[in-house]
Amino acid sequence: MKIALLTDGIYPYVMGGMQRHSYYLCKFFLQKGIEVDLYHTHWELSKDIEALSVFTEEEKTKLRSFVIPWPSSSGLPGHYVRASYAYSKAVYKEFKMRSLDADFIYIKGFAGWKLLEEKAKGLRVAPCGVKFHGYEMYQLAPNWKVKLQHYMLRRPIRWNSLHADYVFSYGGGISKIIESLGIEKERILEFPSGIEESWIAKERTSVSSPKRFVFLGRYERRKGIEELFKVLNNYPDSQRFEFHFIGPIPEHLQPKGDAFIFHGKIFGSQKIKEILRSSDVLVCPSYSEGMPNVILEAMASGLYIISSDVGAVSAMVSEENGRLILPADEKGIRDAMEEVLAMDEQTLLQKKNNSIEKIKSDFMWPEIINQTLNKIEKISSNSLAVS
């Protein structure tokens, strides 16, 4: 079987949750013996994308890589949409010369926009499935500027979703959003994101004293960090806990006090693992999300999760291993923290270990890839039978 994977980059050549997901898809498809035609781009110029050193030599025997330069843009409103369409045209130009014999076309974001246009005009190609991850533009916006960005994305995303044969979803609230766009349930393919076995911690046997909370992410309005800072700046007794921050956060915005530890931007997963495994609680108070890698990594590390009930988070977090709150809700953040601080050690320890078991049962990449390939093979077989 051959899968054409059209994406706007793979980790580590392009950084981001979507690109990390693309990398894992590609890697585990290859490990299953699937031929992959990979159409991608790169922004990390310090790394040699032609060498593709993130794949083993054996994996690369099944891989054909086509690197497409990302188009320049003006920076004016709507530049990302215009650049994405231009990129999809360049991808299509390469695709029609290389991969018309693919058995399935897996499209990430707008990378297949032009291909879907040609398909709508009558081009005969394999079944196409598109994935827009979190559909954040249909979720709550933190301010008018972000809301305007959301509105500019909605129309092209709906068009691409409607014109693909299938739409990939993380499940939960994401599937509800996709259905609201007019996509029939039978065209929605639900598969969670996953995590590698190397992230799985051993059974947790203790709780920190004082209890340790952690936030992992950029200083981005969507992440609800401003609301979190308001809670922490007004906390009556911050000596009851430690709060660690992983990510680039401007120093002048950081809460002051001995309880707050800022690690800055960390490159490489080993140090992140060490911090997470020495912590107790992840706080993720976002306005919008898909299925955040940070929650998967924190669960695999044995953390209790406080998170906004957005996107597909409810598929990962329940009262068994955490608490769901309203998006970027200051009272919800504080109440959830108070609940943890009042929780006895044995109860918190059990919930922390429940996170690890949940990951093992539902979010391991090898099993997710098996499920994905089984569905793709059925779709491909049915398509051949009809044609």
- Give residue-wise pLDDT tens across range 214-271: 999 988 999 999 999 999 999 888 789 999 999 999 999 999 999 999 999 887 789 9
Q: Is 204 a residue whose pLDDT tops 80?
A: yes
- pLDDT: is 3 or 134 the higher one? 3
Question: For 29-33, 62-66, 269-273, 316-320, which range has the lowest pLDDT when averaged over its residues?
Answer: 269-273
pLDDT band at 385 (very low <50, low <70, confident <90, very high): low
What is the structure's pLDDT at 271? 94
One-letter amino acid identity for 283? V
Please, which residues bridge with residue 190 across strands? 169
For residue 386, CA distances in Å to 116, 118, 127, 262, 382 come to: 20, 20, 12, 58, 6
Distances (CA, A) of 52 to 38, 47, 65, 92, 296: 11, 9, 9, 22, 26
The DSSP annotation for 171-188 comes to STHHHHHHHHTT--GGGE
Whether 306 has a pLDDT exceeding 70, the answer reads: yes
Contact assessment for residue 168 and residue 129, using Cβ atoms and an 8 Å cutoff:
yes
Residue 128's pLDDT is 98
Query: Rounded to whole angstroms, how far apart are CA atoms 183 and 174?
Result: 12
> Looking at residue 171, what is its pLDDT?
93
Q: Residue 15: what pLDDT?
A: 84
Cα separation, 97 vs 112, in Å, equals 15
What does the chain come to in residues?
387
What percentage of the chain carries pLDDT values higher than 70?
Answer: 99
C-alpha closest to that of 32 among 374, 379, 350: 374
pLDDT, tens only, 320-330: 999 999 999 99
Question: Could you tell me which residues come within 8 angstroms of residue 234 by beta carbon, excluding any fewer than 6 positions away?
Answer: none
User: How many Å is the Cα radius of gyration of the chain?
Assistant: 21
**CA separation for the pair 91, 80 (Å, rounded):** 16
Distance CA 336, CA 306 (A): 7
Structure confidence at residue 74 (pLDDT): 72
Separation between Cα atoms, residue 165 and residue 123, nearest integer Å: 13
Does the pLDDT value for residue 386 go beyond 70? Answer: no
Neighbours of 311 (CB within 10 A): 26
* Whether pLDDT at 112 is above 70: yes
Q: What's the pLDDT tens digit per position in 319-356?
A: 999 999 999 999 999 999 999 999 999 999 999 999 99
For 240-278, letters b (16+ CB in 10 Å) and e give ebbbbbbbebeeeeebeeebbeeeeeeeeeeebbebbbe
Query: Residue 60: which H helix or E strand, with range?
Result: helix 57-60
Query: Please, which pLDDT band fits residue 384 given cuts at 50, 70 and 90?
Result: low
Phi, psi (5° rounding) for residue 332?
-65, -40
How many CA atoms lie within 13 Å of 265's alpha carbon, on the beta-carbon side? Answer: 7
What local confidence, expressed as pLDDT, does residue 17 receive?
86
What does the pLDDT look like over 49-87, one tens digit per residue?
999 999 999 999 999 999 999 998 777 778 899 999 999
